[in-house]
Amino acid sequence: MLLLLLGIVHLVATPHIAALIRHSASTGAADNLIPPMLLNHILVGVLLLPLGFLTFYAAPYSDRWAQVIVRTTALTVATLPLTLLALMGLRYFDAPLFVVGFLLVVTASVTLLLAAFSRPRTTDSADTAHS
């Protein structure tokens, strides 16, 4: 669910970032910077939605396909907090939406890792199909 929420926050933040660029850069620079930012933010926000849904859908199952989805997602998301800090540093932590997004990424990382690699799952899709 946190990945779905992160996708929504990402999309909600997009117009705020565009406004920030418009106010912080010259008109010509803003005209050059906003389109790639919009492409990136919309693309990532939209892709987080099905990723979150698939992970949420697979989470209760112990089948191999579900473990692959959940564990791959967990390991990938776990790289994000350190990657963000390494590439962006601390300079954006005065922006509330950035802090919310970063905290959601950290929370999603920890939650996904715990869920994906802790206790064995007990619900198989075969069990639910026969119920």
Q: What percent of the chain has pLDDT over 70?
A: 90
| Model confidence band, residue 124 (pLDDT cutoffs 50, 70, 90) | low
Indicate the helix (H) or strand (E) that contains 42.
helix 27-58
Structure tokens at 19: 């406004």
125, pLDDT greater than 70? no
122, pLDDT greater than 80? no
- pTM for the whole structure: 0.74
**Rounded-to-10 torsion of CA 29, 35, 37, 38:** 140
70-120 tens-digit pLDDT: 999 999 999 999 998 999 888 888 888 788 888 988 998 998 899 898 866
Distance between CA atoms of residues 104 and 121, nearest Å? 25
